[in-house]
Amino acid sequence: MPVNRSTATLINAPRGLAGVVVADTEIGDVRGLEGFYHYRQYSAVDLAQTRGFEDVWHLLVHGELPDAERSVEFAAETAGLRRLPDEVSAALPAIAAAGRGSGPLAGMRTALSLLGAAKGFRPVYDMDVEQRRVDSVVAAAAVPTLLTALHRLGRGVDPIEPRQDLSYAANYLYMLTGNEPDERRARAIEQYLISTIDHGFNASTFTARVIASTGADVAACLVGAVGALSGPLHGGAPSRALDTLDAIGTPDRIDPWIRERVLDGDRIMGFGHAVYRTQDPRSRMLREIAEGFGGPRVEFAVEVERQVEAILAELKPGRELHTNVEFYAGVVMELCGLPREMFTPTFAAARTVGWSANLLEQAQDSKIIRPVARYVGPGAPVEVPAWG
């Protein structure tokens, strides 16, 4: 229904809705001034350091951390949902071939829609809370299988069937590479995945909630979120941060390379964040993980961070610009054997769980999200010109 300006009060929101509260949530919060974020009542970094991915998944979609017995049950439940329906598996080669130049994330949009159809997902508006949860878990459990299969098919090799005896992270690496990962690398990827499950009302999360507010099915909500994530202003930075390290090349080139780009007004990939005004806690944790591996690549990344922060403090005084999650995420994923084209899809595999929690929460509110726009075009009404 159109808004009548004579009866409605229009509020001029800032560009990008920056700072505008659009909903209440119990899922988590990002406290940018403090450099802290949490999932429900727990520090997200503490969860990444002490719990497995499945436990945090349970926390977000069920609202509580599982006890030891329930932890085993939920891990087994989600592992049993990794295998794709035959109709979806049969279509993946065509999806991969059609999107050979765009990668697995683009193919995931099509594959998720097909998965929802094959599984008979119904609008969340027509289901109770528990059935919504079931559909969200079914979809999230299948995402790693979809992504790794599309990646392998795009490279001309057969997909690898998921294993139920491996954790979420270990199975993901196994399906991606064909080799069972060592415990250290599997745990490093698991910690990265946990740290990126959710992070406030970012563009993709908000997109999922807007679609959920219409009552659409789980797959539709997730497809919309993936579409938002595909934009270069939202996803894709981990590989670009590594590209920066490659472009600099050696320690003696750091200062001149960075100064030139800052003075030209270019953005330094992997630095700065829209919310944090201090160090990104995810970056701090991932740096510790990277330093645990050690090696020349890590030492170079740490030196780049040190010099870039010093140069930014000198050239942009008064602005707090530090490494964000993407900088060391790229280093960690590279150390664990992930190809760069799978960095953002890996992020999406984690964030699917966060999107699921958000769409489930939004589905409990029957009010559709329907803002208004301020018309700034030519004055109206204008008489429509006749033909001839």
Instruction: Flag whether 110 is in a domain.
Output: yes
Active-site hit among 305, 326, 334, 361 = 326
3-state secondary structure the chain: CCCCCCCCCCCCCCHHHCCCCCCCCCCEEEECCCCEEEECCEEHHHHHHHCCHHHHHHHHHHCCCCCHHHHHHHHHHHHCCCCCCHHHHHHHHHHHHHCCCCCHHHHHHHHHHHHHHHCCCCCHHHCCHHHHHHHHHHHHHHHHHHHHHHHHHHCCCCCCCCCCCCCHHHHHHHHHHCCCCCHHHHHHHHHHHHHCCCCCCCHHHHHHHHHHHCCCCHHHHHHHHHHHHCCCCCCCHHHHHHHHHHHHCCHHHHHHHHHHHHHCCCCCCCECCCCCCCCCHHHHHHHHHHHHHCCHHHHHHHHHHHHHHHHHHHHCCCCCCCECHHHHHHHHHHHCCCCHHHHHHHHHHHHHHHHHHHHHHHHCCCCCCCCCCCCCCCCCCCCCCCCC
Q: Give the residue ranges of the chain where pLDDT is below 50.
A: 1-7
Q: What is the pTM of this model?
A: 0.92
State residue 236's pLDDT score: 60
Residue 8's pLDDT is what? 54
Query: In which order are the strands placed within the sheet that holds 36-39?
Result: 28-31, 36-39, 42-43
What is the model's pLDDT at position 322? 84
d(CA 222, CA 211): 9
Q: Is residue 224 part of a domain?
A: no
The answer to whether position 31 is within a domain reads: no
186 belongs to a structural domain: yes
Residue 383 placed within a domain: no
Check: CB of residue 300 under 8 Å from CB of residue 335: no
Full domain range(s) for residue 45 = 40-196
Which one from 58, 199, 273, 322 is the annotated catalytic residue? 273
Is 322 among the residues known to form the active site? no
Distances from the Cα of 118 to the Cα of 90, 169, 212, 370, angstroms: 12, 25, 20, 30
> Is there a domain that residue 135 lies in?
yes
What is the tens place of the pLDDT at every residue in 49-106?
999 999 999 999 999 999 999 999 999 999 999 999 999 999 999 999 997 878 899 9
- Any catalytic annotation for residue 64? no
368 in a domain, yes or no? Answer: no
Asked whether residue 372 is domain-assigned, the answer is no
Provide the number of structural domains found in the chain.
1
Query: What CATH number does residue 152 fall under?
Result: 1.10.580.10
